[in-house]
Chains A and B, each alone.
Chain A
Amino acid sequence: MMLEEFSLTDKVALIGGLGQSWQKEMAGYLAEAGAQVALFGQDEEQMSAGVKKAQELGKEAMAIPVDVTSYRQVEKMVQTVLKKWQTIDILVNSFNLPFAKPLVETGPEEWQKAMSANSTPVFICTRAVGKYMLERKEGKVVNITSGLGERGLPNGTVYCASKGAVVQFTRALALEWAQYNVQVNAIALGWMADTVETSKKEWQDSLTRLTPLKRLGQPDDLACALVYLASDASSFVTGSTFCLTGGLMAHG
Chain B
Amino acid sequence: MLEKLSLDGRVAVVTGGGGGLGTAICLSLAKAGADIVVTDFRVEDGEKTAAKVVAAGRKAVLFPADITRSDQVNDMMTKAISQWGKVDILVNCAGIVRGEVPKPFWEMSDLEWHRGIDTNLSGAFYCSRIVAKHMVDRQYGKIINIASGFGMRGRRGSFMYNIAKAGVILLTMSLALTLAQYGVRVNAIAPGLFQTLGPKEGYDALAPFIPMRRAGQPSEIGALAVYLASDASAYATGEVFSIDGGALFSGYAPINYAPSIPLNE
Which residues of A line the B interface, CB within 8 A? 1-3, 5-6, 28-29, 32-33, 171-172, 174-175, 178-179, 181, 190, 212-215, 217-218, 220-221, 223-225, 227-228, 233-240, 242-247, 249-251
Contacts and interface: CB of A to CB of B under 8 A. Distances in A.
Contacts of A242: 236, 239, 241
A243 B190 CA distance: 14
B237 A237 contact: no
A168 B159 CA distance: 29
A240 B212 contact: no
A183 to B, nearest CB: 8
Contacts of B210: 178
A240 B244 CA distance: 9
B92 to A, nearest CB: 17
Contacts of B180: 212-214, 246-247
B28 A3 contact: yes
Given A236-B216, A244-B239, 13 more contacts: A1-B7, A2-B6, A3-B222, A213-B185, A221-B233, A221-B234, A225-B233, A228-B232, A237-B241, A238-B211, A238-B246, A247-B237, A250-B239
B140 to A, nearest CB: 13
A239 B246 contact: yes
A5 B211 contact: no
Interface string B113-153: 00000000000000000000000000000000000000000
B5 A175 contact: no
A189 to B, nearest CB: 9
Contacts of A33: 2
A250 B28 CA distance: 27
B224 A237 contact: yes
Contact of A237 (B28, B174, B242, B250): B242
B182 to A, nearest CB: 11
B235 A234 contact: no
B226 A3 contact: yes
Contact of A250 (B3, B177, B222): B177
B249 A29 contact: no
Interface of B: 1-8, 28, 31-33, 172-174, 176-177, 180-181, 185, 192, 210-213, 216-217, 220-224, 226-227, 232-239, 241-246, 248-250, 253, 255
A57 to B, nearest CB: 9
A234 B219 CA distance: 11
Nearest to A244: B235
Contact of A29 (B1, B28, B181): B1
Contacts of A236: 192, 212, 216-217, 220-221, 243-245
A56 B253 CA distance: 47
A175 B246 contact: yes
Contacts of A5: 222-223
B235 A238 contact: no
Contact of B211 (A239, A246, A251): A239
Contact of B1 (A28, A178, A249): A28
Contacts of A243: 236, 239
B259 to A, nearest CB: 14
A3 B227 CA distance: 10
Contact of B181 (A214, A218, A234, A239): A214
A32 B223 contact: no
Nearest to B242: A240
Contacts of A214: 180-181
Contact of A225 (B223, B227, B237, B253): B227
Contact of A174 (B211, B217, B220, B243): B211
Contacts of A237: 224, 241-244
